[in-house]
Every structure is written in C-alpha cells, then in structure tokens.
Amino acid sequence: MLVAPIVEVKNLTKRFGNTVVLRGINLTVERGTVLGVLGPNGAGKTTAINCLTTLLTPDGGEATIAGYNVVEQPEAVRSLIGLTGQFAAVDEVLTARENLILFSRLLRLSGGAAKRRATELLTQFDLLEAADRQVKTFSGGMRRRLDLAASIVVSPLVLFLDEPTTGLDPRSRQQLWAVVKDLKAQGITIILTTQYLEEADALADQIVVIDQGQVIAKGTVDELKDKVGGKFCELRLANLEDYEKVKDLLSDMGEVIVGEMGKEGPIAIAAPDGANTLTEVVLRLESANIPLADISLRRPSLDDVFFSLTGHTT
Amino acid sequence: MMTQKLAQPELDPDTIAAMVAARREGGLQRTLHDIVVVAWRNMLIDFRNPASLVVSALFSTSLLFVFTASFAQVVTPGEGFSGYAQFLLPFASVQGLMFNTVDIGVFFYNDLENGMDIRLRAMPIARLSAIGGRLLSSGARLLIQVATIVLAGHLIGFRFQGGLLGAIGFFLLPVVFTLSLALIGFYIAVGAKSAETVSAVLNPWILPFTFLSVGYVPIEGFPDWAQPIVTRNPVSILSEAMRSLASGEPALQNVIIILLCSLALCLLFGTLTVRAYQRRI
Amino acid sequence: MSNSKENMRATKVEAIAPEISALAQKMIAKRQETGWRRAIVDSWLITGRNLIRLKRNPIIIVAIAIFPIVFLAGFWIVGQKLMATQGVNYIQYLVPIINLQALFFAGLGSALMFAQDIESGMMDRCRAMPIARIATIAGLVMAYMVRALLSTLILLLVAFAIFGFRFQGSVIDALGYLLLIVIFTATCITGYSVLAIKLRRPDLVNAVAIIPYTPLLLLSNGFSPTENFPTWLQPIIRYQPVSVTSDALRSLVAGGSNSLPLFGFSLLWLVGLLVVFGVWAKNAYKQLV
C-alpha cells in the first residue's frame, strides 16, 4: 500500500486584500523528518505556517495533517500539532514552571501529571535551576527553550517552528539545535522556517525554498547544492592588482567567478578535480610569483544556492 | 583586503587633537545645541506617533467642557457658563499638565531603557543632553496642550483680559511648574525597574493635589477643616495666579511663590536626578 | 462545525499508514476541544493565569483600591457642601458613579492585557492549541470580573466605614445592585475588547482607551444631577446608559419604590450594548492574525 505523507499541501493560496501572499504552495513531509522552509523576509513563510496551524483560513488549495483537513477539521488538526511562533509566547510574570503547568492543564493533563510533566520538560530543556523564576528575568535563549518546551508538553505528531533561533547568540542557537535534533530522534515530524541557511543545513532532511509566495526549489540539502554545481576552489589575493593576471593564468581551467563582494572578496573557480585543481592553482600562481592571502576548497553553501535561485541573497 | 589604500589620512597627534577639539563635549553653547537636537528628535517621535499627545490634549479639554457643563450651575447658580469657564480653565490646564508628569516620567524611563541613552552617552556630546532634551521636548508638549485648551476655552467664553504680558505668563507659568514637578518623575525613572513602577509611584499623588485645590470650586465650597490645606496647595496658588494673569488682576505675589516652588523643586530633584543618572550603569 | 464522531475521522484515512491514523485518532479523542465542560475547564485555567498576572503587577493595588477611593474622597470634598445647598446628600449620590468608574477602568485594563496577549503571540499560541475557542476571551472577562468585584467591595467598605455611606435597600435591592454591576463590567470589557482587537498595539490602546471616559462617565448625571447641565444637553445626559445605570443604582441604594422600572431600563441598555459589542468582538476576533 502506498502511504501518504503526514503533511500534504496542495496549491495553497492566500491573499490579504490585494496582496497575494501565497501563490500556490505545494509540499509534502514524510513522517519523522524535518522540513526546512527557507526564504527571505516577506516570502510567505509565516503565512504558510499560520494556514497549516489553523490560525488563518487559506483562500484556496488543500492542506492535510495526518489526513485531517486544516480547513474542514481544524479542531482535529490542533490536537495533532504543536506551534512555536516567531515571538516567545510565554507569560513574563509567570514562572517557567507555572507556564508549563498552564499549558499542560490546557492539554488535559491532570494536576499531578501536569506538575510531573513540567519538571520533566524543565530538566530536558536545562531550565530546572531557573524553574521558579519569573520569565521576565530570562535570557533570550532560555525564553526560546521554554517556548519550545511549551509546544511539546504533549508530544505532537507535527511540530511547527517559526524562525526558532532568530536573534539568539551562537551558543543558545547550538543548544536549541540540539533540542530540535532530540525531538526529531523521538520521531516528531518538524516543519521549521528559517532565514539562516546554516540552520536548515544543520537540521533539515528536506528543504523547500519559498520566494514571493511560491516554492522555487525543493529537495535534500545535497540535491540543492548539486543544482548549483560541484566543488569550488576559492581564493583571496594578497594584492588586488593581480586580479587580471590571475584571470589570464587560469583561463584554460574555467571562468573565474567574482562573488558578491567584488574583487575584494573571495574569487572562485570550479574545481571538478577537487584537491588536484587546488594544487594546480597554487602551483601556477606560485610560479608567476603572485602571493595568496588564502585558498580553500569548498562545496557551495546554501547561500550560493539561494543566490543562484532568486537572484538575491537572504 | 590588507592592500586596500587607507581611506583616512595618516594619524599624527595633531590630527587626533584636532578631531577631539572639533567634537569637544563641554561648553554652554555646545550643551544647549545638543539638548535642542535631542529635544527635536523626541518631538519628531511625538508627532509621528501622535496618539498620546492628541489624547492628553483632548482629555484635559474634555475635562474643561464636562466640568463646565456639570458644575457651572452648582458653583455659580444663575450665572452663565462663561463665568465658570473663566474660573475653571486655568485649573483645567494645570490638571491636564499634571497628568502629563506621569507620561513624561515614563518617556524618560523608556529613553533610559531602549538604548537611546546608552547611544547618547557614548557620543561626544553634552553629558546632560538626554535629561535636558527630554525636559525641553516635554515643555513643548505641555505648551501645545495649554494652547489647545485655551483655544477650546475660547469657544465657551474664556477670554484674556490681561494683555500680552499676562497671556505669556499664563502660558509659561504652568509649564515651568509642571516641568519642575516632572523632575520628580525623572528621579523615580532613573531608579525604577519598570515603566509601571514609574506610573504607580506618581499617579496617586496627582489626584489629591488637584482635588484639594481651588480648581473646581472656590474656597468657600470646601469643608472648614480642608480650607487651610486648600489655600496652601501649590495647585491652588498656581490656579489663582493664572486666573489673575488671564483677567488682568495683580498676580505678582502668587507668581513669585510658584516660581520659588519651581526653583526649589528644580534644585532638589534636578540635583538628585543628575547624580543618580551619573551613577546609573 | 459539529463535533460528531464522524468529524473526528480523517477525510483521507485510507491513505494514511494505519498506525499513524490510530495514533492521531487517539490524540484527537483525548484532547477534543469542543463541549461545554471543556469550555469551562479551559476558561477557568486561563482565568487563573490572568489572575496571577494581575496579582504580580505592582500597580494593581493602586488601580483596585487607591484610585477609586481617592476619586471618591476628592469629589466628596469638592462637592459635598455645594450639593448640600441643592438638597443632595452627596456621598449617597456619589458612590454609585465612583463604583461604575472603577468597573469602567477594569474594562480599560482588560483591553491593555488583551492587546499584550495579541502582541506577544500568546493569543496565537492558544488559538493553535486544541482548547475551547471561547476560553481566551472568557478567561479575560472572568479575571477582570474578579478584579472589578474586589474593587467594588473595597470601595463600598471604605465608603461605609469612613464616609458614612449607607445601603438602605432590601436584600433584593442588593442583589439587583450586584447584577447591574456584573453586567456593566461585562459590557465594558466586551466593548474594550473590540478596541484591543482592532488596535492590537498595547501602547496605542493605552493612549486611546481613555477617550470614551469623558462622554460616558463625566457627561452623565453620576456626579451632578441632570438639571445642572445646559438645557440642550439634558436629554442626552438623562438617557445615556451610564446615567440610566447610576440612576438605577442610586435608587437601589435608597431602597426606593420606583427601583424596578429604572433597573429594567438600565438592564435593557446594558444587555443591548453587550450583545452589540459581543457580536462585533466575535467578528473582529475571527479576522485576527
């Protein structure tokens, strides 16, 4: 028997007044995987999430969670999902524990079970020490973790994370990533929007790129990277005046690509032979007495992917 | 990148000294200039987001109308409404301005909290430009309110009978007094932990001061025990001074008392605020 | 949308792997959000949360107790002697409107909390959870109802103990007083919730919310009898809802024989407004996000 994906979205459209925000989004998510939804500000990521979490009614198209239609059976859908919105939606003057108990009770846990679950979550999210402090004393990272904990009080089938690490410092971000990976390991299906390409790189099995209300690319991280091409040899010149000379020297190996930062930034050349290409470049420049500031071999980043798909960066 | 030509000239001690001199913080002219610039920024924000300004101006105007409508016949039975308007307007403006001290205190707290103050402190500008700028822009805000209420009062029969000098005094006196009161708000704001604290500390004081004054009703209307308090209440004295200024009667004694009160408040809370401000961070 | 068993079955159940489908149905059955018992439990939980928030606000004691009492004392000192010349016992006259004012300010406060919930994303979080739809609103109304009644209790006690206010009506009059107060509070909160939903930003709500105070409270016969207003204003003053309600409350306080028609008129006004605001708020709430 062919098994349908746990989340299925077909031709979803939404407009606000005259502004068309979603122009027919299609996606599918398999159970237990993480889907990364990438896109610049205003691409329609949050609107799409709001439609899937029953906060907004789409104008057209169809979306189902585990077979339940988000428009026709919103109550059922809400029982299956968890949502962590863009802003840490927890009460400032309540303590972390009180916040979690409140949500546990709202999700039908009994008084005792709610308390136990709160303690469990506080431990799991490394908030036990701060459990009885009012949330207004929390750092941004702690707030985010609490926010996430509140969304998985009862383990949902599908968890929606809308830009979960926006505004966090690198360490808090790492901590949050670890939590998300842990949730994935528990078998929770996760849909995650982000502006950070490295975040999608670190967490997502599948990626869709949304721009101006449309899906402009989808696939695994590797597939998307292959779309842009293979490896690159990237170099920085010590003296910018050497640029023309380098271009001539390497002309038979391929075109020298100038990045966003112009000649002052790193320049690159396709490296079909990997390390051999790099060695060749070093040898040629050395014999021509052209000093290098830096040289490396790298795969295209999702930034490159995004740039080549949309013509603009995130 | 290292090979890029330096955009800046070679740095020798003379150039650096010139830079420092050009941006020197001290000096009276410099201080005034900086304060005006910060005040200008504050006023721009007020005008771009005018809800609070408009509402507080409308609120004191509406108090004037409503109390004229509901108390004129009680306080001055048999007379028209314009007589009571002439009596009430000075106080209605004072009351409106006094309610503003809470807002001003909260604005100053927000200045301190939202990063504006830190930015100003890190710039080579006068040290007191945050306080001075907020005070100055608040003064402008208060003047707008007095103007609004005077214009509105004109409709119900309020008239200046005391000449230009009296009118200028009428506008400036309550603003000066209210700003010196606002310094109390500043002092609280510097030490407060939340905007709510600022309004919770300030709010309860304003009502008794306004109620226990010859604002709504003349002194004879008060119970005997309250009369001595009412006559000595600065709000009463200010209302009386403004009434005299508006109607062209001698007002010098009351004006001097109010100015002395303001000066005392300024010296006390100005010093306290500045010291607390310097110790903040 | 009905909450029949049929509705709890997925539309495309045959295509979903059976074990997920079974799990989903179990989850849905367990957390099912509809039904009146759910509505009560959820509303109660949200009320509890709102009450904690109210309790931890440093300004609350000022808002609940000090503010109304200062207003009572202020108007009393200012108006007592003058009103006595008109033959009005001012403390008996004044307490009902000061009480209504306290309830009105409770409504104003609720708008602020509501707007904060919308801005912080709390409202979205609750709406995306399988909880009764009514719970967020009911929780707000009930928490502020508690605040309003507490404020009323303190005010009446102080008015009784310090200012010599006396309730001269019967027990039935007292119940009528209580009923009007509860409905007045509900009407204020519902009306203000429309403002909160429309404006959304707490700072804007804070700036604008005072506007209805002047025409509704001050331009009423609550502080000064209707006859003291200009003749052309008197019809409006006499029949506007706050005047009608304070007339009714004063009559109940005095235990007069003509309380019933005044009570009925007031009830008509308040319930009518409540229905209008309620429908308006509900429609506006649907368009939130």
Q: Which CATH number fits domain A231-298: 3.50.50.60, 3.40.50.300, 3.30.70.980, 3.90.650.10?
A: 3.30.70.980
Cβ contacts of A55 on chain C, cutoff 8 Å? 124, 127-128, 289
CA proximity to B85, closest of B103, B107, B70, B100 = B70
Nearest by CB: C58 against B74, B200, B211: B200
Q: Which ipTM score applies to this complex?
A: 0.73
pLDDT for position C5: 45
pLDDT for position B5: 47
pLDDT bucket at B162, cuts 50 / 70 / 90: confident
**B41-50, C8-17, C74-83, C264-273: which has the minimum mean pLDDT?**
C8-17
Helical (H) or strand (E) element with B148: helix B129-155
Phi then psi for residue A237, to 5 deg, are -85, 145
pLDDT at A303 over 80: no
Chain-chain contact of A240 with B4 (C-beta, under 8 angstroms): yes
Distance from CA of B186 to the nearest CA of C (A): 18
Chain-chain contact of A75 with C49 (C-beta, under 8 angstroms): no
Chain-chain contact of C77 with B70 (C-beta, under 8 angstroms): no
Helical (H) or strand (E) element with A293: strand A292-298
Distance from CA of A72 to the nearest CA of B (A): 41
Distance from CA of A27 to the nearest CA of C (A): 16
Phi then psi for residue A257, to 5 deg, are -95, 130
Q: How does the average pLDDT of chain C come out, rounded?
A: 87
- Architecture category of domain A7-226 in CATH: 3-Layer(aba) Sandwich (3.40)
Closest-approach residue (CA) in chain A for C23: A157
What's the mean pLDDT in A298-305?
Answer: 72
d(CA A269, CA A258): 9
Chain-chain contact of A238 with B3 (C-beta, under 8 angstroms): yes
pLDDT at A59 over 60: yes
d(CA B258, CA B32): 25
Nearest by CB: C131 against A53, A93, A106: A106
Cβ contacts of C108 on chain B, cutoff 8 Å? none
What's the mean pLDDT in A56-61?
Answer: 91
| Domain extents in chain C | 35-286
pLDDT for position A78: 87
Q: Is residue A54 less than 8 Å (CB to CB) from chain C?
A: yes
Token pair recorded at residue A303: 């930034």
Token pair recorded at residue C188: 């204020």
Highest mean pLDDT among A215-229, A266-280, C178-192: C178-192
Helical (H) or strand (E) element with A242: none
Chain-chain contact of C218 with B51 (C-beta, under 8 angstroms): no
Cβ contacts of B51 on chain C, cutoff 8 Å? 203-204, 207-208
Please, where are the H alpha helices in chain A? 45-52, 74-80, 96-106, 111-124, 140-151, 170-185, 197-203, 221-228, 243-249, 275-287, 302-310
Nearest 5°: the CA angle C172, C173, C177 is 115
Closest-approach residue (CA) in chain C for B106: C203
pLDDT for position C155: 95
Chain-chain contact of C230 with B222 (C-beta, under 8 angstroms): no
Cβ contacts of B1 on chain A, cutoff 8 Å? 236, 264, 293
Chain segment A28-54, per-residue pLDDT in tens: 999 889 999 988 888 899 999 999 998
d(CA B180, CA B261): 9
Chain-chain contact of B70 with C204 (C-beta, under 8 angstroms): no
Cβ contacts of B223 on chain C, cutoff 8 Å? 77, 80-81
Chain-chain contact of B3 with A264 (C-beta, under 8 angstroms): no
Cβ contacts of C15 on chain A, cutoff 8 Å? 2-4, 67
In this predicted model, which residue has the larger pLDDT, A308 or B65?
B65
d(CA B2, CA A266): 13
Distance from CA of B2 to the nearest CA of A (A): 7
| CA-to-CA separations, C170 to B109, B136, C161, C246, in angstroms, rounded | 51, 58, 20, 18
pLDDT at C260 over 80: yes
Cα-only R_g, chain C: 23
Exposed / middle / buried, residue A313 (Cβ in 10 Å: 0-12, 13-18, 19+)? exposed
**A148-152, A210-214, A264-268: which has the minimum mean pLDDT?**
A264-268
Q: Is residue C203 less than 8 Å (CB to CB) from chain A?
A: no
